[in-house]
Structure 1
């Protein structure tokens, strides 16, 4: 279904049990497809699930859209999704999508916020892992030229999929899409600022102890800043949706 300019995969439950829909928000280089196991699981439990796609995932003029797509565009699009719900939704967001969700939650009424492997905002100090620092150097020319691009498979494997069973890699890598250089820069520079006082719903932060993108210490700082509950899982990495036991 389309919600404004966004295409969302809707998973209606056979027996609805909850008023709030679950809005599932992806991170970089991915789309709604990364949520399919979770959407199926939660719809079976009675939730209506909307797995959204940020702009530039399926449109015919994808690269044109991605050349212009900025962080605040994603925030405004998500706000429109929230307003379209008949009841304040629950937001479930991964990685950079978690920062988008927090910015939207500052202004919109939501029932709860669940952040998976969430990148810390600007005001939280973060020790940057070496592999992530290398990304900045490697892809700096593409970011400078503002060209949409895909992460090389070996980089996605080493960082995003480090804790995902090898047998699942090919399917995930085959679905990767080019990403806006503006969003990649936001991911690397962490320029977004979050005001925790404006987020008035319950918050849960979830992450893995082996995350090579967002260290566990940073996730703890995010949880502390938001006065959120924290669930930290040993032997899990950044791609919690597709890791063993993640579904």
Structure 2
């Protein structure tokens, strides 16, 4: 399977480990490309973002509806093998759920969850959205069955903006990214709603940073805090921010929080090991 990977490399001093970014549902590697990839590269991290099969420029669009959670996990493992080293994993929404699953079996240098689907699955998220936004949930289900060209006739630009972005994001920015959203796998959604593939936090030994957004209508701050508690840590919730944290007007605050945490959890640990080995 040919998997798209977008990469940015540091020009100066290189950090000890690379970062691999994993996108959420309906998205692709493009969501990391404008801000996060160059910013983390500028701070010394070899930075990579993949598009899961059927997303972005990866193969498999014709069968995207039948992709499973194991398929997506294999995509990430394939890219990790190609990198040749164990990276820091940063996942958004569905990508955050995939990171949780990967941490069960393989200890990584670190993991970061941005507005992640909670460890107990997608069902609680779906039920909350059905209760609060019944009309739009029906539209989202419908547009996933329609050709991409028909989406604009079912869900308005304003509805898409309210779902993914905060009011601080300019209309011009939203218009740039909304056309890039695409179909998502029903099977993967079903997999994340049941107990068969649910992440098991007790198996995770890797340090995790859990971040959320105050105005996220998909993954609520309470859900993010619950996920953090599952891993015996505390969540950081960013004010006046929507679900697409990496594309928000204040994206840099999120990136700086991650960089600061990585300096403490990963880079400082590497320095201590070097000192001990002398």
TM-score interval (norm. to shorter): 0.7 to 0.9
**Match among 10, 13, 29 for residue 10 of structure 2:** 13
Cα distance per residue 1:31-59 (max 9 Å; x no partner): 11110111000001110011100011355
CA RMSD of aligned residues (A): 2.7
For the 8 Å contact 1:131–1:159, the answer to whether it is kept is: no
> Counterparts of 2:194 and 2:170 in 1: how far apart (Å)?
29
Structure of larger gyration radius: 2
> Counterparts of 2:189 and 2:135 in 1: how far apart (Å)?
14
- What is the aligned partner in structure 2 of residue 246 from structure 1? 251
Cα distance per residue 1:167-214 (max 9 Å; x no partner): 311101122222222234456x36541111221111001111111111
Q: Does 1:54 align with 2:58?
A: no
**Structure-2-length-normalised TM-score:** 0.76
Report the Cα offset of residue 82 of structure 1. Answer: 2.7
Q: Determine which structure has the larger strand proportion and give its number.
A: 1
1:139-178 correspondence runs (5 A): 139-140=140-141, 147=145, 152=155, 153-163=157-167, 164-178=169-183
Q: Does 1:26 align with 2:23?
A: yes
Q: Determine which structure has the larger helix proportion and give its number.
A: 2
Give 5+ residue unaligned stretches, structure 1: none
Structure 1 runs of 4+ off > 6 angstroms?
Answer: none
Higher mean Cα deviation, 63-72 or 91-100? 63-72
Give 5+ residue unaligned stretches, structure 2: 253-278
Cα distance per residue 1:111-161 (max 9 Å; x no partner): 111011111132696671334554554455677xxx586564454222112
